[in-house]
């Protein structure tokens, strides 16, 4: 409205009859849809067509105590109507229920996919350790340590994890940015999110494969080489 110091000014209606006295200015806040840009808004006093009063409750008291006091005042001045109220934070949270549901489902299916992937890694590690049992036996006879053999078996899987991370990261970045574009006010996708996901993926792969790798590394080479 191009008012440098609006507090205390008088704003007149189009007909020149109604006047509003500006008593304060508040910061922008999302009143309607979280997907849309904040529109200019006036918070006006209770005229004939307004039937809602916004109250800020005293944080020093409990919610029930505050509501009891408000109800007493309400019934004193408006006893013929029932006392009905809603909490602003709950009403605001309802706007994001769909996003919370999508987030919960995404986390559930992501966890299921990770679990299935770990089962696949575990099976591959078991198969690889069985196929290379004689190689491992020869390496142990030649003086290879348990750590070096476990690292030998694990690094092949880390290569696969690294390749999948390189392929998946651009797709995930594009998908997340497309989803965030539906919001007028949004966060940015930081690089450390993908770095953390890569480290976590590598850690999960190592934990999954390490059991079979260490089991094969500590096995007695005599058992695997006795037929040779």
Q: Is pLDDT of 148 > 90?
A: no
Q: How confident is the model at residue 2 (pLDDT cuts 50, 70, 90)?
A: confident
Integer Cα distance of 125 and 119 in angstroms: 10
Q: pLDDT band at 189, cuts 50/70/90?
A: confident
pLDDT tens digit string along 126-145?
A: 887 777 777 777 777 777 77
Overall average pLDDT of the 57-65 stretch: 90
Please, which pLDDT band fits residue 188 given cuts at 50, 70 and 90? confident
The predicted structure's pLDDT at residue 167: 92
Q: Residue 112 — pLDDT band, cuts 50, 70, 90?
A: very high
Q: pLDDT band for 60, please (50, 70, 90 cuts).
A: very high
Reading the block at residue 197, the tokens are 């996901």
> What was the pLDDT predicted at 88?
84
**What backbone torsions phi and psi does residue 21 show, to the nearest 5 degrees?**
-95, 120
Q: Where are the alpha helices (DSSP H) in 132-190?
A: 133-141, 146-180
pLDDT of amino acid 97:
85
Among all chains, which residue has been given the structure tokens 């009905």?
Answer: 84
Per-residue pLDDT averaged across 116-128, rounded? 84
Residue of 159 and 141 predicted with greater confidence:
159
pLDDT mean across residues, the chain: 83
Domain residue spans of the chain: 96-225
Q: What is the model's pLDDT at position 69?
A: 92
For the chain, the C-alpha Rg in angstroms (whole number) is 32
Q: What is the mean pLDDT of residues 66-91?
A: 89
């Amino acid at each position: 409205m191009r008012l440098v110091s609006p507090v205390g000014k008088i704003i007149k209606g189009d007909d020149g009859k109604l006047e509003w006295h500006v008593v304060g200015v508040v910061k922008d806040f999302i009143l309607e849809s979280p997907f849309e840009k904040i529109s200019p808004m006036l918070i006006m006093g209770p005229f004939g067509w307004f039937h809602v009063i916004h109250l800020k409750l005293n944080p020093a008291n409990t919610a029930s105590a505050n509501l009891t006091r408000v109800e007493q005042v309400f019934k004193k001045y408006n006893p013929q109507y029932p006392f009905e109220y809603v909490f602003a934070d709950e009403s605001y949270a309802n706007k994001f229920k769909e996003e919370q549901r999508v987030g919960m489902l995404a986390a559930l299916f992501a966890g299921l996919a990770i679990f299935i992937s770990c089962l696949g890694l575990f099976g591959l590690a078991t198969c690889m350790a069985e196929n290379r049992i004689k190689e491992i036996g020869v390496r142990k006879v030649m003086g290879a340590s348990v750590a070096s053999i476990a690292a030998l078996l694990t690094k092949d899987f880390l290569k696969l994890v690294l390749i999948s991370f390189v392929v998946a990261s651009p797709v995930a970045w594009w998908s997340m940015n497309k989803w965030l574009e539906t919001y007028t006010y949004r966060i940015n996708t930081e690089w450390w999110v993908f770095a953390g996901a890569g480290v976590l993926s590598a850690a999960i792969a190592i934990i999954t494969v390490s059991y079979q790798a260490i089991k094969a590394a500590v096995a007695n080479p005599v058992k695997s080489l006795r037929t040779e």
